[in-house]
Amino acid sequence: MAQNFSLKDQLFNDEKTRYLAGLFAGADASFDACAFHAQVMSRLLDLELKERMAWIAECLQQAIPGDLPDVAPTLLRSLPPPLDPSKTDDDFGDFIFAPLGDWVVAVGLDHPELALDVLEEITQRFSMEWAIRPFLKAYPDLVLSQMEAWCAHNSYHVRRLVSEGTRPRLPWGQAVGLDLSDPLPLLDRLHADGTRYVTRSVANHLNDITKKDPDLVLDRLQVWAEDGQQDRAELEWMTTHTLRGLVKSGHPRAMKMLGFDPEADIRADIEITGEARIGEALEFDVALSGAGSQPVLVDYIVHFQRPGGKTSAKVHKLKQAALKDGALTLSKIHKLKGDATTFKLVPGAHRLEIQVNGQVRAGVDFELLA
């Protein structure tokens, strides 16, 4: 990502605000587009991304006052045509419509049936996964019942909302207090969806659950595999995507489900090439040996020094392959960025380990130089 790139400025800016104002002016002749635009822009550029969403929603609420029954007709008339129904993935929509969800929450919590109808329409322009959650928390039975119907909706954006909106650990999402098993009947229907946009959400939902109850997820995946409702290749992709967190932690049952034997007799040797220096790279070779041509899933773990003397282990993917004549040689160049803003490297003693089929097979200490 470019150093000066600003996601908040790309998603919420003067041009996008004018576009939104124009849509509402077209839906209601009394809507003052210029005044709305001026009010939004008076503060917008000083705010962070989520704050911009809330601010635009507040400005809409002031420009078109009233509860949801009063404003819903104008809101719905303002919407552009739904997203292209011929696409099947990577069509998240235009972020400028995210504030509409905040607006519906602000004026519609006392009108849940109407709010769900409105969110059903908006989510076909931009995902309402955040906006649905206050209603799910306040009216769980009503919303889950509506979601049951949405599982058969002709728009894959609405179907995805069912899975994404009920995720236990939705990024930026309000906690909803559901039991981990409550949405599973919905996922039972959605897992066989023919759209990757939906099945990816199902897999992400299950990955959330693995953080607290891995066996609940593994049992469900086993049931789905036995039912055979989903295309085999797609279910295999979903299973791999679902279990990515468990794979990093070396969960034995997850490894076996993916076809890797955690108890296999496999040996590993590591050789670090040259020096490891901040701003350069850690280069190493790995030699695996074992019986026959058994499949292997190879990760590497770097134990980084942290300020204050603590260490932090990070697991990285290396290779999914199979031994050839009982052997496999791998090489890796791991960049050691010195200007990363999310993880600051600290010089000193570090450790590199090789994990095969979920089990650490070898390790070597090295010094990270400044």
CATH for 123: 1.25.40.290
CA angle, 125 as apex, 120 and 126 as ends, to 5°? 85
Contact 316, 302 (CB under 8 A): yes
Residue 146 located in a structural domain: yes
Q: What is the pLDDT of residues 259-274, one digit of tens each?
A: 999 999 999 999 999 9
- What dihedral do alpha carbons 147, 151, 157, 162 form, nearest 10°? 40
Report how far residue 243's alpha carbon sits from residue 250's, in angstroms, rounded to the nearest whole number. 10
Report how far residue 181's alpha carbon sits from residue 191's, in angstroms, rounded to the nearest whole number. 15
> What residues contact residue 39 under an 8 Å CB cut-off, 6+ apart?
59, 62, 63
Contact 183, 151 (CB under 8 A): no
- State which residues form the domain around 290: 266-369
Report how far residue 274's alpha carbon sits from residue 282's, in angstroms, rounded to the nearest whole number. 8
Claim to verify: residue 162 and residue 311 sit in the same structural domain = no
Claim to verify: residue 360 and residue 313 sit in the same structural domain = yes
State the pLDDT at residue 288. 97
Classify residue 334 by burial, with Cβ atoms within 10 Å: 0-12, 13-18, 19+: middle
State the pLDDT at residue 89. 81
> What residues contact residue 150 under an 8 Å CB cut-off, 6+ apart?
120, 158, 159, 161, 162
State the pLDDT at residue 4. 54
Q: Is residue 345 scored above 60 in pLDDT?
A: yes
Sheet bearing 281-290, strands edge to edge: 266-273, 281-290, 327-335
Residue 89 located in a structural domain: yes
Inter-CA distances, 262 with 69, 248, 277, 359, 360, Å: 58, 13, 33, 6, 10
Give the CATH number, domain containing residue 302.
Answer: 2.60.40.10
> What residues contact residue 277 under an 8 Å CB cut-off, 6+ apart?
336, 368, 369, 370
Report how far residue 197's alpha carbon sits from residue 91's, in angstroms, rounded to the nearest whole number. 8
Q: Is residue 2 scored above 80 in pLDDT?
A: no
> What residues contact residue 297 under an 8 Å CB cut-off, 6+ apart?
247, 255, 258, 260, 319, 320, 356, 357, 358
Claim to verify: residue 182 and residue 326 sit in the same structural domain = no
Q: Is residue 90 scored above 80 in pLDDT?
A: no
Q: Considering the chain, what percentage of its residues have pLDDT values greater than 90? A: 91
Q: Rounded mean pLDDT of 122-147?
A: 97
* 66-69 long-range Cβ contacts below 8 angstroms, 24+ apart: 66/107, 67/107, 67/108, 67/110, 67/111, 68/104, 68/107, 68/108, 68/110, 68/111, 68/114, 68/115, 68/118, 69/111, 69/114
Claim to verify: residue 83 and residue 144 sit in the same structural domain = yes
Claim to verify: residue 153 and residue 289 sit in the same structural domain = no
Residue 41 located in a structural domain: no
Contact 167, 204 (CB under 8 A): yes
pLDDT band at 339 (very low <50, low <70, confident <90, very high): confident
Claim to verify: residue 166 and residue 290 sit in the same structural domain = no
Claim to verify: residue 229 and residue 307 sit in the same structural domain = no
Residue written as tokens 């990093």? Answer: 248
User: Would you give the DSSP letter of residue 87?
Assistant: -
**Domains identified in the chain, total number:** 2
Q: Which of 242, 275, 296 is the last residue of a domain?
A: 242
pLDDT band at 155 (very low <50, low <70, confident <90, very high): very high
Residue 160 located in a structural domain: yes
